[in-house]
Every structure is written in C-alpha cells, then in structure tokens.
Structure 1
Amino acid sequence: MVSNGSKLYMLGLPQPISQDFGKKTAMAGILPHELILEILSWLPVTSLMRFRCVSKTWKFLISDDPYLVKLHMERSSRNPQILLMARQRYKSQCFMARLGSLPCLIQNPAPSSCGRILRCPKPYKYVFGSCNGLLSLHHSLSTNECEEHWVCFWNPATKICSRPSPSLRLNYGMGVQYDINFGFGYDDRRDSYKVVAMVLDSSTQRTSVWVYCMGDVCWRRTIMTSPAFLTFDSNGYSLNGTVNWIGYSFEESKFEELQIFLYDLKNDSCRYLSVPETEASEFTSMGVLNGCLCVSFDERRTVFVVLTLKDVGDERSWSRLVSVSYETLNISPYYDYLQTLCMWGDLLFLAYSEIGAYNIIIFNLKENKVERTEGYYKKVFSLIFSCHYAPSLILPI
C-alpha cells in the first residue's frame, strides 16, 4: 500500500510538512550542517519559504544565514529567468511581467502566457531595475514648488519590500525643468545595492548624479557634469558594477557625438564611452545581451543594427552582432521603435509595438532568418525593459 505522501514523492510534488517531519528534521545529528545547506541551496525560493516552518533552525538558515543566501544566489543565477516588463497603456499601475525560462519564451512568447502579473506594492508605479533577485521601484509626487522621488527594493519571490528611501527633492524655480532617470546596481566592494539618479536641469544645462545606498538616511550628490548629458533610455542598464545610459552631451543646444555615460558604483565616478560612428536615424536604444552592453539603432531607415561592447573598459571591443534589413524582418521601420530583448544561443528576441498590438520577433542569427513573429491584439502594451532575473533569498533591507 502506497501512502499519499509517497505518491506525491513519486510524482515529484512537494509533500505536506507534518509535525513529526518537522521534529525529525530539527533533531541534531541527522544530517551534517554543510549537507543541509547544500540541499537547500538547490531548491526554489517558493519551497524554501514554506520550509521555514519546519523548525526554528531551518527558519534561521533560510532567512538569516549569509552563506546559504550567497550559495543559493550562485546556483539560481546559472539558470536565470527572463523578466519582460510591459505596462498597459493608460493604466500606470498595471504591469505585465513575464517570468520564465528562455526555452519557455521560445515556445510561447505571448506576454500574457506562462507568467503572472506583478503589481507594484502601493504607492509605487514603476519598476526600473533588477539585480540579484531584487527589483527597484519608483514613486513620485509633484507640486507647484517641487517634485519628490522615492525608491524602494522589492523581492517578489519572498514578497518582502523595503521601507521607502528618503525623498529626493527637486525644487522648481523660474524656467527650471528637470529630466530624471534611474538605474539600479550592486557594488560588490561594499556589498551594497545602489540606486543612481541622473538629474538634468535644463535651466543650467547641467546633469547631477545622486546615489542612494540601501539603508542610508539620505541621497548623496556625487557628480555635477558640464556639459549636460541627455539620455535616450529612461532606464540605466547595470553590468559588472556599473550603470549605463546612452545619449548625447550637449551645451547651449549644441549636441556632441553619441556616447555612453558609465557610472562606476565602486568608485562613485563616471566616464564617457564612445560609440562607433554610424548612420543612425531617429532612435538608438541600449540593453544587455550575453553579459555585454549592446546598442541598437536603425540605419538609413532600411537596416536594423546591433553593436555589442565586450569589455566596458575597452572601447576597442565594439563588434557588430547583427545587421538585418527590415525587409527580412518583414516589418516597417516606421513602427514604434524596434528593440532587443534577450538572446538564447543563436536566437535573438526583438520587440516592437504598433497600434493595437504588441509584437515579439524571434530571429535566428546563424541562418539570418525570422523563426517566428507573434502579435497580440487583446490589450495594448508599451514595452519598458527586459532583463535577466534570478529568484533569490536576499533581503531588501
């Protein structure tokens, strides 16, 4: 006779945790401490959250043991999921988040399939970054005198959200207008998570950089740049301890060459990276593909080009990943702009939107052909960003 628990085990499903099981596992000497940590480090976060109820010892291990948190993060990051963030037009609090493996995304790239809707904890309305299983959220309020901005850190796997940051207050004055963009990354030198705010003051034509470290009591202004830097993408892209924006330096309405503004989280310093000369048309966007910064643009309204920078410390490491005609992609270059999402092997995922539809293209780089194009007309979504996401036990405090 096979018990119900044995049937669950045979099916590969989690068994119910009985009091007797909890007592047995809590007893010292059944398994070495190191072996318990090794086993737990391979389990999904959702299971670990349940297993905290087994005993006080397991609750401490799962919630507070830094070695397990680090080991679990290393294991989880080997098979990251892709996080596609899309916002429903005209509904600022409705985000469609697609969390899943890339093979699953290939089988069904629909934004509403095999995923779940992530609604930001109130009052936050915007997600602008992902790092080590934490998402960074933004909220703002404006009056006639100023605008204020708050951020927080959220672990959707554990459902734990940090307290709001101190306010970043920007005072208005005669002719003063601000353009503010956020980025999120990890400083491994100080073991600290940081939010970087790029604030462009159009009245002075200067850009100031403000930094908030998790747990700090205030924002710090670390840099004031002149000439100002005008970003194309609202989100800064995090890579290897840096946060990056693409745009132009400008002074007195005179634009300089296309550049990447790189902020070093370890040294709180910045530098500019040159982008190879191109015949770019109206848009340029940036992202991260296979651990490299990438820049995409359309060339002469006929060809879509993606450049990658292998080493952020070496401007000579630029290379052309793809150059494909819009005719091959079977779309018009006059759609809302085409951008890169992610890569898996030789497959490049692209996205664009048009009136009434949100579309994903799966393009085979090796064979230079479109594998699939999916369009969805039930709801209108505007893509915000995509990034890798690895569920973790990291506490957002």
Structure 2
Amino acid sequence: MEKLLTTATNVEVSNHIPDDIIFSVLSKLPLKSLKRFGCVCKPWSLLFDDNCFMTMFRNNLLTKDHPYYDYTSVLIQTKHGAYYHNYKYLLHSLSGDDNIVELDWPNPFPIQEEDKHPSSSEEEEEEGFEDKPPVTRLLIVGSVSINGTLCLDNRYSEGELILWNPTTNKFKFIPSSPILSIPYYGVWPDHTLVGYDHIKDDYKVIRSMCARPNPKLPDVYFWDLYSLNSNTWNTIEADVPQSDQNIDVYTDGVCHWWGQREKQAYLVSFDFSDESFITTLIPLYVDDSDVFNRAVGRRLVLLNGSIALILTYSETSMFHISILGELGIKDSWTKLFIIGPLPFLWNPIGAATKKKILFEKKDGGLVLFDLSNKTIEEICVIPNCTFCKTVLHKESNLPIGGIGN
C-alpha cells in the first residue's frame, strides 16, 4: 500500500508544471495558436490581461528572427510638388547601418534628339505631338520586391506597368490589359498589387478596375489578374470591399490591404497561389468612429512577419499597434503596443526592421522608433516632400523573365 501511495504521489508531482514555465512556453507561440489555446482553461483565456505575460510575448515577438529582414534594405518613396501636373517622385534606400542614399529610377523613355518629332507646327502640337517627358513619376506598386524585382506604375500613361530590377537595372513592360480597351464610358485602374505564386513559380499582378458604363450610374468594380508566365491578363469575379487607401502589406504569398463597405472597415487579403480573397473585420475594440474619423490615421505594416495595424490619434499624439493572429477571424486582433504621447511625430510610414518603425516628423524629418526600448533615432530630413510608402527590398541578379520560367 505504501508503495502504491508513493507511486501515485510521484505521478501527481510529475504532472504539475510551474506557471512561470507555462507562461514562458506560451509566450513564444504565434498569436494564432495562443488565441486558440485560450479555451483550454480560464487562466489561459486571461493571459492577455496579464502584464507580465504580455511583456514576455512582446519581447519574443520583436526578437524572433524572420527571413523577411535578412539582407534587405528599405526603399522609401517620396512625392515632391504642389500640383498633379508637376509631381516628382524620388526614391531613397535605407540600409541596415541606417545610411540613406537616393537612387536613380530606370529610364525606359529616354529623350533622344532622334526621338523628337521632326515638325513643331501648331497644328501637330494641338493634336498631341510632344516630346516624351523625363521619368520622374514612376510609383512603386506593392510593399516588397519579388525576387529582387519591383513593379512600377507609370503615372504618365494610364494603366502602364513596368517590372524593374534595381540590381541589374533591367526592366520589362507589362502589356496593357485588354479590359482597358472595352468601349465603356470610362475604365481605369483603381488599386494595384503584386505577389508571388509559389506553386506555379509565377510573378503576378492584380488590379481593381473601375468602370463607368454611364455617367449617371454608379461605378462598377472588378478585378484583373496578370501572370508573368503566360504574359496575359484575366478577369476575376469577386465581391470584396474596395480599397480606400493605396497601402498594402505582403507576406507568404498573400497581399493585404484596408478596404471598406457601407461604413464597415475590413482587412482584405488575396492569395496569389489559389487566387482567392479573404476578408477580416476590424478589431472589436476599434469602433467605427475611430476607423472613419479623419482625426484617426491608420496604417498597415509588417511587424516581424505579422500583419500590424497602427492607429494614430492626432489629438493625443498616441499610437496604438495591433497584430492579427488569423485571417478571417475578427477576434484574433490583439492590441500589443500603446506609444506616446509623441507630439513631434506625425505619421508612421512602415516597419524598417523586425522591431523598428519609420515615422515622419512634423518638421519633415524621418526617424526610427525602437519598440523594444522606446528609443528614437534620427535618420534624415528630406525637405519639401510627402512620404508615400516603404518597400522591403532584397537584391537579386535573377533576370526578370526568369522569375516565372
């Protein structure tokens, strides 16, 4: 009998795991798994209310290594000029040692003397004959380079896209979509995104297209998908919320952006491999007044591999950062960081490393905010500009035509 009691006692003791060990293990899990384990027992469901646990979880989130940041630089695009007709876009590269340099755009439209039209009569000028403009209005599409290749939107030509590898300085024109030639009252691109289909080894571009069959009728939206492998466009039918900002993040073959429909905000995601859409409602703790209030800015960034939403409260100079645990699950949003007040910071423009976020200062400067130790590092001042977007870029010598072949 004594031996049986001893054995039972040993089993009971061996099955007990101290809370600090449990917390340490759980804090290393992805948010998706942690949210699901909340149903195991009541203490686990309350972990997000525990300050000690949340500190461990934040530290693990910021310190884990993610391949997205290996050997990458951050491309920063800025817009200069007060009026649409004289906008000029500049491109800067921020490297790991915090050095920032200006890059030259590709020039697929060089102005040569022999390219100029031989006649300069007033009649021909009225018909639209003019010299090709210098390329200063190329806009980067997407938030990452795919195998070292960027997609550029030529703002001088409606709907024209160019693939460009900054390392080799090679470029390739994407053929115009046939849908642009349909005789509607008007058809134009509304939102363009890029991604990689890892199953077919294919570079793809998807565009939200807006059509106006009749000026008295509401606009019609649909989707157009380009494949580099086939060098063709195909229309996709999908009823998803339209984007209200040209801001997106990309991770693991899926592109994500912020959309809205009937005063309801969503995260909209597109999987480039199975060519499907997923929508995720806004966080429970963010009400509609926050999402649609002009005094509350919002920005999507990729925070060490996780989709993060930054809400900027201009009246209090506070920044709230939440990450998403699982696509399609509204309750999987979790608020992790509250920063501020920082009255001299104006706008978060993207994540530079796994734990640093780029902020625009109110005086036009650019700084890095370290989430782990709450320090601020001055980067540079780019005068008289508007910061458009940031793009994670990894150099590659792979030829553009070789991405999908």
Q: Do these two structures clear the TM 0.5 threshold for a shared fold by scoring above it?
A: yes
2:137 matches 1:127: no
Residue 388 of structure 1 aligns with an amino acid whose one-letter code is: L
Closer, same or farther: CA 177–284 of 1 in aligned 2, 3 Å: farther
Instruction: Show the counterpart of 2:200.
Output: 190
Deviation, 1:193, is 0.5
2:274 matches 1:267: yes
Q: Map 1:93-112 to 2 at 5 A.
A: 93-101=88-96, 104-105=97-98
Q: 1:159 aligns with which of 157, 160, 169?
A: 169
Q: Map 1:154-303 to 2 at 5 A.
A: 154-167=164-177, 169=180, 173=184, 178=188, 180-201=190-211, 203-225=217-239, 229-249=241-261, 255-277=262-284, 278=286, 279-280=290-291, 281-282=293-294, 283-299=297-313, 301-302=315-316, 303=318
Q: TM-score, with normalisation over the residues of structure 2?
A: 0.63
SS at structure 2 position matched to 1:153: strand
Report which stretch shifted further, 207-216 or 76-85. 76-85
Q: How many residues align?
A: 291
**Could you tell me whether the CA contact under 8 Å between 1:232 and 1:284 is conserved in 2?**
no
Cα deviations by residue, 1:163-204 (Å, 9 ceiling, x for unpaired): 332345165755x57561111111101100011111244644
Q: 1:81 aligns with which of 73, 83, 95?
A: 73
Counterparts of 2:325 and 2:80 in 1: how far apart (Å)? 34
Instruction: Show the counterpart of 2:121.
Output: none
Pair member with larger Rg = 2
Counterparts of 1:236 and 1:76 in 2: how far apart (Å)? 16
**Could you tell me whether the CA contact under 8 Å between 2:139 and 2:155 is conserved in 1?**
no
Residue 70 of structure 2 aligns with an amino acid whose one-letter code is: R
Instruction: Show the counterpart of 1:392.
Output: 396
**Could you tell me whether the CA contact under 8 Å between 1:138 and 1:151 is conserved in 2?**
yes
Deviation, 1:121, is 2.9
Instruction: Show the counterpart of 1:136.
Output: 151
Instruction: Show the counterpart of 1:371.
Output: 376
Cα deviations by residue, 1:312-363 (Å, 9 ceiling, x for unpaired): 46544422232223xx31337xx5xx124215454332225x5xx5322332
Closer, same or farther: CA 177–120 of 1 in aligned 2, 3 Å: same
Counterparts of 1:170 and 1:233 in 2: how far apart (Å)? 26
**Could you tell me whether the CA contact under 8 Å between 1:182 and 1:236 is conserved in 2?**
no
Deviation, 1:267, is 1.2
Closer, same or farther: CA 299–385 of 1 in aligned 2, 3 Å: same
Counterparts of 2:176 and 2:229 in 1: how far apart (Å)? 10
Instruction: Show the counterpart of 1:321.
Output: 336
SS at structure 2 position matched to 1:149: coil
**Could you tell me whether the CA contact under 8 Å between 1:290 and 1:343 is conserved in 2?**
no
Gaps of 5+ in 1: 1-73, 143-147, 250-254
Residue 117 of structure 1 aligns with an amino acid whose one-letter code is: L
Residue 78 of structure 2 aligns with an amino acid whose one-letter code is: A
Deviation, 1:372, is 3.4
SS at structure 2 position matched to 1:321: strand
Counterparts of 2:68 and 2:312 in 1: how far apart (Å)? 35
Deviation, 1:75, is 9.3
Percent identity between the two aligned chains: 15
Q: RMSD value over aligned CA atoms?
A: 3.1
Closer, same or farther: CA 190–200 of 1 in aligned 2, 3 Å: same
Q: TM-score, with normalisation over the residues of structure 1?
A: 0.64
Counterparts of 1:94 and 1:86 in 2: how far apart (Å)? 6
Cα deviations by residue, 1:19-64 (Å, 9 ceiling, x for unpaired): xxxxxxxxxxxxxxxxxxxxxxxxxxxxxxxxxxxxxxxxxxxxxx
SS at structure 2 position matched to 1:195: strand
Gaps of 5+ in 2: 1-65, 110-134
